[in-house]
Chain A
Amino acid sequence: MEVQQNNILEVFDRQVPASDKPRRELLQKLAASGLPDRKHEEYRYTPVSRLLDKEFADFTANPATETTTLPVAGILAEAEQLVVFINGEYAPHLSRLPQDQMIKVTPLSSGSQPTAWDKPAFSDRYLDLNRALTKSGVQITIATGSAPASPLYILHLTDTARGKVMAAPAHYIQAEENSQFTLVEVFSSEGANQGFVNAAIHLQVARHARLNHIKVGLDTLSTTRLDHTLVQVADSASYNTINIGLGGRMIRNNLYIGLQGEHAEAHLYGLYLPEANGLIDHHTAVDHRVPHCNSNELYKGILAADTTGVFNGKVFVRPGAQKTNAFQSNKNILLDDSATINTKPQLEIWADDVKCSHGCTTGQIDKEQLFYLRARGLDEASARKLLLRAFAEEIIEKLAIEELREYLEEILDSKLPD
């Protein structure tokens, strides 16, 4: 296959000094293979490389930023534990690190990978790009048996007011045995210039631990963002994730969950409402590597005029992973003919004693439900809105943090068409 020539790789090249051999090697590999384009199965609906070639060819360096105010103030101003990254750089003056012994937060100034960190069975060229370009991140360890009462927030702010921005943070989260913890990542952007965020977060959930991971995407149309989430779940541990995406130019989520110990569990929820001319893409993979694991996945999309949604949910059941239960569902509502949904729920199963199913629906608001509400005196617009709210609520209600849920419900209300 011919290799796609990406001008953008030259831009990336300038970011890494010649002395940094391992990173230079990664970049050379990428130059040899090219970045995935529409011809690649995994990126056929999400042409990130084309967009980068077009819009970031003149990128040199991130501009200085003077932001001192927090976005999403209602939530983050109150947050007890907050780690802030602005344009991919750790911002200590805005962060509030935890004071107790239960959570240990170490900013990674060099962005280097902590030692003794297993590589998951997942590869992606943009993830390699993250490895090559990352300069910062944070390592978080939740101590054995501890259950911090309040969640920890990580804010990724992309401030493009003074010029184009690129960011490639990489985080490492370790939930030790029997711990219980909630992590909230907020992605937000401001400024009129383009921003490109290529973030990665690696998580390990040790035996009997429980990790709740919430992601909130509040990007604007100037932001293109890739988000790689790689999770390894040990035996009897549980990983729950909720991803709410409400904007952005082109947002790609790669979520890989390896269930590596028996009786491990994963629950995945997602809600996506792209803005007009925006695209939100979810590629999820649940990898059942050992017997007796459960996974459950529900992703829902509301696609208004000129929006695109992409969903690809993979469930792998490896040879020998008997007694697996895996369920997956993807539901979409299209509100306009200019909206597009490309969905591919995918099962790959190499073991026989399993119960796996997936379902996928794409449609519009149920006419009978609409009629029911109309008959009870609601006008059509409010009836529609109520039904869409109810559709989204199935995901939103999973949020255990009340103030965050209320905040998102408000945004949702303002976003849903009247």
Chain B
Amino acid sequence: MSKDDQILEEFTSKEYEHGWSVDLEMDQAPKGLNEEIIRFISKKKEEPEWLLEWRLKAFRHWQQMHEPTWANVTYQKVDYQDIIYYAAPKQKKKLNSLDEVDPELRETFEKLGISLEEQKRLTGVAVDAVLDSVSVATTFKETLAELGIIFCSFSEAVKDHPDLVRQYLGSVVPPTDNFFAALNSAVFSDGSFCYIPKGVHCPMELSTYFRINAANTGQFERTLIIADEGAYVSYLEGCTAPMRDENQLHAAVVEIYVHKDAEVKYSTVQNWYPGDKEGKGGIYNFVTKRGICAGDNAKLSWTQVETGSAVTWKYPSCILKGDNSIGEFYSVAVTNNHQQADTGTKMIHLGKNTKSRIVSKGISAGKSQNSYRGLVDISKRASNARNFSQCDSLLLGSDCGAHTFPYIQVKNHSAQVEHEATTSKIGEDQIFYCNQRGLDTEEAIALIVNGFSKEVLNKLPMEFAVEAQKLLALTLEGSVG
């Protein structure tokens, strides 16, 4: 076995480090999905009547829909009646300091290396920690409150700011949008809500950590972010999940509404359990993420580092409605073993002088399949629209695949759209060059992969870039330092 093969072998044999689960007392709904369950969830969360109606409407629509099959992934079909749609840690007191948090839960975060205390002390990041659907700790709430920023769990927002929720919920991702968005709309358990008032520049990075903890619990998070005129916010989301043998479904919805002159930066690091070496288990990650630049000069930027999940099906999108608005998508997707990722973005140009930029880096190893699927749509009135897309794929090993499906639809003659894609492996000459300069092959691969992803990693906020690099290293351990 050559050195290269050894390294690939080591890297493919790497087990998932974050595979453990904490026994928390759960308060959960019976398995299955029907109107009763939705009423149960809604009642449990003490929701107003309109929201229950909204959920039921989505559910009735979902029943008419078929699970999509167009994505370039194959997986065992999900039995939607074999899922627990609601699970919450029982303890639900209002907390003001971290000392009040369940010690076992805090241990969970310590193991992940993202302890609230450390986050709070060192980075100044306000963490709204979501553990299985219900928020248990919120920090820096007071500081944010002074500026009028609302950053809380979705259920709190429903109670405290019903008008805002009612106005914006479903305005970007309608409940009937697609199969998984409809499912989420019917059964979403909790999530985060964020509102930045007019002219406010949010002074800190907002962050949420999601964990899927109880076995057989589908996660149906719902995130709603609203940046009012001239506001700015940088929002971070990061995920790890414990090892489970049964496939777990995650169908989240993220909606972002960006008003005139406002800017939202949304960054994700996703490291859910990808399944074992034989492709057994792992998370199904079927997520709908979409933002709208509703006003002029608005800006929305998505950055994602995807290393986990058995099957990923995710297209963070930008609707560029306001004139001069800007959409960005930066992505690194790493797949290993039997992982499958079908991810990309949609840039819908509606306003004049709108600009978008797509940089997607796919790295496939083992027997994994990594697809980029994107849409750039320039409508008739989007004069002087501009798009640049770049999709690069790196293949490690001869059994993996890299695929590119970019859709480009242009209806305006002053638009300028460019797309380019490359697929290649790490060149022997590149490795040789590094070897010659004293780096061993392992270090060389590390250097090259890091360089390959740098353009995207650089877009992450500092605090997150470190974690992202850790995750890349963890996924590619054995071949990447």
Cβ–Cβ contact A345 & B419, under 8 A: yes
Stretch at the interface among B149-157, B213-221, B408-416, B447-455: B408-416
A388 in contact (CB, < 8 A): no
**What's the Cα separation between A339 and B414 when bound, in Å?**
11
Cβ–Cβ contact B425 & A362, under 8 A: no
B417 in contact (CB, < 8 A): yes
B189 in contact (CB, < 8 A): no
- Name B residues whose Cβ lies closer than 8 Å to a Cβ of A: 70, 378, 380, 383, 393, 395-425
Cβ–Cβ contact B414 & A359, under 8 A: no
Going nearest first, the 5 A-B pairs with the smallest beta carbon separation are A352-B395, A334-B413, A360-B419, A363-B416, A362-B417
Question: Which residue from A335, A340, A348 sits with its C-beta under 8 Å from B411?
Answer: A340
Cβ–Cβ contact A357 & B421, under 8 A: yes
Given the known A-B contacts A334-B413, A337-B380, A362-B416, are A349 and B406 also in contact in the complex, defined by CB atoms under 8 Å? no
A118 in contact (CB, < 8 A): no
Residues of A contacting B408 with CB < 8 Å?
341-344, 360, 362
Given the known A-B contacts A352-B398, A362-B410, A362-B416, are A347 and B424 also in contact in the complex, defined by CB atoms under 8 Å? no
Which chain A residue lies CB-closest to B387? A362
Given the known A-B contacts A344-B406, A347-B402, A352-B396, are A339 and B424 also in contact in the complex, defined by CB atoms under 8 Å? no
**What's the Cα separation between A242 and B359 when bound, in Å?**
33
Residues of A contacting B70 with CB < 8 Å?
41
Residues of B contacting A359 with CB < 8 Å?
418-421
The count of residues in chain A whose C-beta lies closer than 8 Å to any C-beta of chain B is 35
**What's the Cα separation between A239 and B414 when bound, in Å?**
36
**What's the Cα separation between A269 and B350 when bound, in Å?**
33
Given the known A-B contacts A349-B393, A356-B422, are A344 and B407 also in contact in the complex, defined by CB atoms under 8 Å? yes
A295 in contact (CB, < 8 A): no
Min CB gap B387→A, angstroms: 9
**What's the Cα separation between A353 and B426 when bound, in Å?**
8
Cβ–Cβ contact B421 & A332, under 8 A: no
Residues of A contacting B422 with CB < 8 Å?
355-357
**What's the Cα separation between A37 and B135 when bound, in Å?**
47
A150 in contact (CB, < 8 A): no
Residues of B contacting A350 with CB < 8 Å?
400-401
Question: Which residue from B380, B412, B421 sits with its C-beta under 8 Å from A358?
Answer: B421
A364 in contact (CB, < 8 A): yes
A33 in contact (CB, < 8 A): no
**What's the Cα separation between A341 and B415 when bound, in Å?**
11
A120 in contact (CB, < 8 A): no
Given the known A-B contacts A41-B70, A346-B404, are A352 and B410 also in contact in the complex, defined by CB atoms under 8 Å? no
Residues of B contacting A335 with CB < 8 Å?
413
Residues of A contacting B400 with CB < 8 Å?
350, 352
Min CB gap A127→B, angstroms: 22
| Chain B CB within 10 Å, residue with most, of A41, A332, A360, A364 | A360
Given the known A-B contacts A361-B419, A362-B417, are A337 and B398 also in contact in the complex, defined by CB atoms under 8 Å? no
A58 in contact (CB, < 8 A): no
| Chain B CB within 10 Å, residue with most, of A322, A335, A346 | A346
**What's the Cα separation between A351 and B417 when bound, in Å?**
29
Min CB gap A106→B, angstroms: 42
Residues of B contacting A336 with CB < 8 Å?
413
Cβ–Cβ contact B411 & A345, under 8 A: no
Question: Can you name 30 A-B pairs with beta carbons within 8 Å?
Answer: A41-B70, A319-B398, A334-B415, A335-B413, A337-B380, A340-B409, A341-B410, A342-B407, A343-B408, A343-B409, A345-B404, A346-B404, A347-B393, A347-B403, A347-B404, A348-B403, A349-B393, A349-B395, A349-B423, A350-B400, A351-B395, A351-B398, A355-B422, A357-B423, A358-B404, A359-B421, A362-B378, A362-B418, A363-B415, A364-B414
Residues of B contacting A339 with CB < 8 Å?
411, 413
Encode contact with B along A311-345: 1 for CB under 8 Å, 0 otherwise: 00000000110100000000010111101111111
Interface of B is mostly: strand
Min CB gap A68→B, angstroms: 44
A192 in contact (CB, < 8 A): no
**What's the Cα separation between A218 and B65 when bound, in Å?**
45
Cβ–Cβ contact B425 & A346, under 8 A: no
Cβ–Cβ contact A345 & B421, under 8 A: yes
Which chain B residue lies CB-closest to A353? B425
Give me 19 other A-B pairs in contact (C-beta within 8 A), A347-B421, A354-B395 excluded.
A320-B398, A335-B413, A336-B413, A337-B380, A341-B408, A342-B407, A343-B407, A344-B405, A347-B393, A347-B404, A348-B404, A349-B403, A350-B400, A350-B401, A354-B424, A354-B425, A357-B422, A362-B408, A362-B417
- Number of A-B residue pairs with CB-CB distance less than 8 Å in the complex they form: 119
Which chain A residue lies CB-closest to B380? A337
**What's the Cα separation between A261 and B417 when bound, in Å?**
36
Residues of B contacting A343 with CB < 8 Å?
407-410
Which chain A residue lies CB-closest to B400? A352
| Chain A CB within 10 Å, residue with most, of B402, B413, B420, B425 | B413
Cβ–Cβ contact A347 & B412, under 8 A: no
Residues of B contacting A319 with CB < 8 Å?
398-399
Cβ–Cβ contact A357 & B420, under 8 A: yes
Residues of A contacting B396 with CB < 8 Å?
352
**What's the Cα separation between A358 and B404 when bound, in Å?**
10
Q: Which of A108-147 contact B (CB under 8 A)?
A: none
**What's the Cα separation between A356 and B395 when bound, in Å?**
12
Cβ–Cβ contact B423 & A356, under 8 A: yes
Residues of B contacting A352 with CB < 8 Å?
395-398, 400, 425
Cβ–Cβ contact A334 & B410, under 8 A: yes
Which chain A residue lies CB-closest to B426? A352
**What's the Cα separation between A118 and B351 when bound, in Å?**
52
**What's the Cα separation between A300 and B169 when bound, in Å?**
44
**What's the Cα separation between A363 and B401 when bound, in Å?**
31
**What's the Cα separation between A349 and B406 when bound, in Å?**
15
Question: Which residue from A344, A345, A347, A360 sits with its C-beta under 8 Å from B423?
Answer: A347
**What's the Cα separation between A346 and B395 when bound, in Å?**
17
Given the known A-B contacts A337-B412, A339-B413, A364-B414, are A348 and B421 also in contact in the complex, defined by CB atoms under 8 Å? no
**What's the Cα separation between A348 and B464 when bound, in Å?**
32
Min CB gap A75→B, angstroms: 33
Min CB gap A300→B, angstroms: 15
Min CB gap A404→B, angstroms: 31
**What's the Cα separation between A332 and B424 when bound, in Å?**
26
Residues of B contacting A361 with CB < 8 Å?
416-419
Which chain A residue lies CB-closest to B419? A360
Min CB gap A361→B, angstroms: 5
**What's the Cα separation between A235 and B17 when bound, in Å?**
48
Which chain A residue lies CB-closest to B396? A352
Residues of A contacting B406 with CB < 8 Å?
344-346, 360
Which chain B residue lies CB-closest to A351? B398
**What's the Cα separation between A347 and B393 when bound, in Å?**
10
Which chain A residue lies CB-closest to B405? A346
**What's the Cα separation between A307 and B411 when bound, in Å?**
10
Min CB gap B366→A, angstroms: 11
Residues of B contacting A363 with CB < 8 Å?
415-418
Which chain B residue lies CB-closest to A332? B410
Residues of B contacting A348 with CB < 8 Å?
401, 403-404
Cβ–Cβ contact B416 & A364, under 8 A: yes
Residues of B contacting A349 with CB < 8 Å?
393, 395, 401-403, 423
Question: Which residue from A322, A340, A356 sits with its C-beta under 8 Å from B410?
Answer: A340
Residues of A contacting B399 with CB < 8 Å?
319
Min CB gap B107→A, angstroms: 42
**What's the Cα separation between A353 and B402 when bound, in Å?**
12
Which chain A residue lies CB-closest to B374? A344
Residues of A contacting B378 with CB < 8 Å?
362
Residues of A contacting B403 with CB < 8 Å?
346-349
Question: Which residue from B411, B418, B420, B421 sits with its C-beta under 8 Å from A337?
Answer: B411
**What's the Cα separation between A392 and B118 when bound, in Å?**
62
